[in-house]
Structure 1
Amino acid sequence: MQPNAPVPAGSPVGSPPGSGREIESLEEFDRVVTSGSLGGYRVQSVDLTARTAELAAVDTMEAVFLGCPMEPEAAAKVRAGGALVFPPVPFLPFNPYRAALYRPEELFEGLEKGYENTPDALAYAWFERTKSDGDIFASMLRSIHDDAVSDALDELLAGRRVVGVMGGHALERGSAGYAGAARLGRALARDGLTVATGGGPGAMEAANLGAYAAPLADTMLDEALALLAGVPHFTPSVAEWAAAAFAVRSAFPGGGSSVGIPTWFYGHEPPNAFASHIAKYFANATREDGLLARANAGVVFLPGAAGTVQEIFDNATPNYYQSRGEPTPMVLVNRAHWTRELPTWPLLEALAAGRPMAGRIALVDSVDEAPAALARLAAGPK
């Protein structure tokens, strides 16, 4: 099949033999190419500039190369062999075809020169310039990027029991609430759960910090909280705020893993450095829905404002309409907040009445009660 030639009737484009097989590293490429065929493979963000001879010799019918640098003659050959080639996009502050989630070190690279010079800040600046200019190419790049992030997130979480922790971004380091959220993250991680948060500051950072502390000595968390209290908020300086987190990680290496799922839609809120894997999106709606949908072991809602209230009912809706399987547990923390300050609990309780989700929601007074409540709900009625 020649490049750009019409697809013959009945051609299985979209579901070729081997469809869904992904190659995401040079090591994987070298292993697969020895078979003599890349047919049906998706090669994602692998630098192939030194693999021209291998590409010349291998079958590439219905292979797809996503953002793989290669020599021009190699690109021409694989196209002629029936492959689709999506070349790298120059001058972008991010890779739309990335094969893995972000690491904190990657997003904050160059922090010592100022946060505005980091990949995270540069991606936000690009988003701000392009989000409303009507350029279909920019919107396509955002969509491709977010889909690649979702794919990497699914691969990371496959087979894991994931618990979401939601809460306000304004919670300051040094506060009792921040310390409680950190203890919660640690307890959940020690229970064998993968902690997933919105990936930002405040309660989100605290829960990711707790998961980081889970495999370390109990005293580590108290010491880390004391160190972080010196920079309570990401304003006025994101650089100082992030540097304090990296200092804690340096002082206490070997922390546990967790996931942060932030968005450049709220780019004024930086991602936190305690989530080992960061699934950062341009589209906030995709991020919100994806975070809750992947929390298969339940969600703990700490005190928050409009965003947290929205997340509660975003999570309650599929539970309300659940017709197969079991609703996921929902634990709301702080009775006064959710019954008087923002009376969300009475409405949630009314929605749940008479439905299977009624046995999967709980309201507790303190954050330290949340892990036991989550486990009780997950076990179901006796």
Structure 2
Amino acid sequence: MVNGDDLQPQPTDREIETLDEFDLRIVETGGKLDGFRLQSVDLTSRTDTLIATDTSGAVFLGCPMETDALAKVRADGALVFPPVPNLPFDPYRGLLYSPDQLFDGLADHGYDATPDARAYAWFQRTRSDGDVFASMLRSVHDDAISDALDELLVGARVVGVMGGHAMARGTDAYAGAARLGRALTRTGLTVATGGGPGAMEAANLGAYAAPHPDDMLDEALELLAETPSFVPSVSDWAQAAFDVRARWPKGDESVGVPTWFYGHEPPNAFAAHIAKYFANATREDGLLARCNAGVIFLPGAAGTVQEIFDNATPNYYESRGEPTPMVLVDREHWTETLPTWPLLSSLARRRPMEARIALVDSVDDAPAALAAL
């Protein structure tokens, strides 16, 4: 299984993303921050340190600081991007989201009061008004998320699990996707999903359940089945997941990569690290590109079909290394309901990717098929 200590953000030589990193760098450099980039670090308690530090050549991205420290930093010639007031998100954040951060306030005030819901409401207001400042903030935020995701996944073997958002809790399909996430995590892979409900939540739940006894997942599935969907109440749906986490703490870690473009679909609370984007295209391409151990596609509709060919395209044109494995689950679905497999296999026969794709009947066959590719 994945050791939770292994899947942690890896600091880069020139990025400072926490107050502890700031203190460490001050000691290591003898009070010189030339060339460093500080992201969303609250420096209001470090005024004396900043005044005594050479910050020339540093860049401060959304770092609160006291007036005297700000004047000193600017006098040094540092570049300062101040925090943006009245935003429901931090465009300069240095780390990915956690479920607790996105759902803060859920228990007391309901989903509509959470940072996740407020960010979606802001996105709805600004996405079509032509405000260049709002579009710039979205782009800065998404780039910061990509940077944080890359830092988190350094050295990780990432397997994607894709599938439809409509897969309801309490169904056999949901239970199968959860078993898949658990099995993959127990082999040492890091599970990454689209971060939403349905098949995505199930796979993240399975990853969370990996260090627990097998009957934990069975019991969790029964509890979650009492709230099968995020419709009509996102609050009840999300709270059920947090109740499972509270009953069985210390689950294993996985990654969710959702988007506010589909903000009516809330993120799930079982992914320990959530890379949430405003731009869906950036999110889709980035998620698939980081699945270096392959992707498993569960039954889905248009979105999943799109992901299959988004993943197949770079595999088809791969010329410097090996294509990543692709496993499609449910033969009837992918050959008759949505006959994607015939086209995919026809493409594959023209390229080395032919030996890296598989079609299996059952979700329980998927881990072995992935390992064999």
TM-score range, shorter chain: over 0.9
Aligned match of 1:166? 162
- Secondary structure of the equivalent of 2:277? coil
The answer as to whether partners of 1:20 and 1:42 remain within 8 angstroms in 2 is: no
Q: Give the Cα separation in 2 of the matches to 1:300 and 1:176.
A: 18
Shift of 1:73: 2.3
Q: How many residues align?
A: 359
Query: Which runs of no fewer than 5 residues in structure 2 stay unpaired?
Result: 1-11
Q: Equivalent of 2:19, from 9, 26, 42?
A: 26
The reply to whether residue 210 of structure 1 matches residue 203 of structure 2 is no
Amino acid across the alignment from 2:350: G
The alignment-based identity, stated in percent, is: 76
Instruction: Select the residue among 62, 72, 81 that pairs with 2:76.
Output: 81
Q: Corresponding residue for 1:108?
A: 103
Where does 1:13-52 land on structure 2 (aligned, <5 Å)?
A: 21-34=14-27, 35-52=30-47
Contact 1:93-1:122 at 8 Å conserved across structures: yes
- Secondary structure, aligned partner of 2:250: coil
Name which of structure 1's ranges 36-45 and 310-319 shifts more when overlaid on structure 2. Answer: 36-45
SS of 2:359's partner is strand
Range 58-67 or range 287-296, more displaced: 58-67
Structure 2 Cα separation of the partners of residues 243 and 127 of structure 1 = 24
Tell me: higher relative CO, structure 1 or 2? Use CA pairs within 8 A at least 6 residues apart.
2
Answer yes or no: is 1:365 the counterpart of 2:361: yes
Question: What runs of 5+ residues in structure 1 fail to find an aligned partner?
Answer: 1-18, 378-382
Give how far 1:99 is off. Answer: 1.1
Structure exhibiting the larger radius of gyration computed from Cα positions? 1
1:97 aligns to 2:92 (yes or no): yes
**1:232 aligned residue:** 228
Aligned pair partner of 2:306 in 310, 319, 326: 310
Residue pairs, 1:164-313, within 5 angstroms: 164-313=160-309
1:346 to 334, 342, 345: 342
Question: TM-score, normalising length from structure 1?
Answer: 0.93
Question: In the aligned structure 2, how far is the partner of 1:313 from the partner of 1:27?
Answer: 43
Secondary structure of 1:59's match?
Answer: coil
What secondary structure, in the 3-state scheme, does the structure 2 residue paired with 1:65 have? strand
For residue 80 of structure 1, report the CA deviation from its aligned partner: 1.9
Structure 1 equivalent of residue 62 of structure 2:
67
Deviation at 1:354, TM superposition (A): 3.1
Letter in 2 for 1:38: L
Instruction: Give the distance between the partners of 1:31 and 1:243, measured in 2 at CA.
Output: 38
Q: What amino acid sits opposite 1:266 in the alignment?
A: Y
> Contact conserved, 1:38 with 1:61, CA < 8 A, in 2?
yes
- Could you list the structure 1 runs, at least 4 aligned residues long, displaced by more than 4 angstroms after superposition: none
1:157 aligns to 2:153 (yes or no) = yes
For 2:7, the equivalent position in structure 1 comes to none
Supply the RMSD in Å over aligned alpha carbons: 0.9
Q: Distance in 2 between matches of 1:195 and 1:273?
A: 14
Q: Alpha-carbon deviations, 1:154-213, whole Å to 9, x = none?
A: 111000000000000000000000000000000000010000000000000000000000
Aligned equivalents of 1:373, 1:162: Cα separation in 2: 16
Q: Deviations over 1:334-381 (max 9, x none)?
A: 00000000000000000011311000000000000000000000xxxx
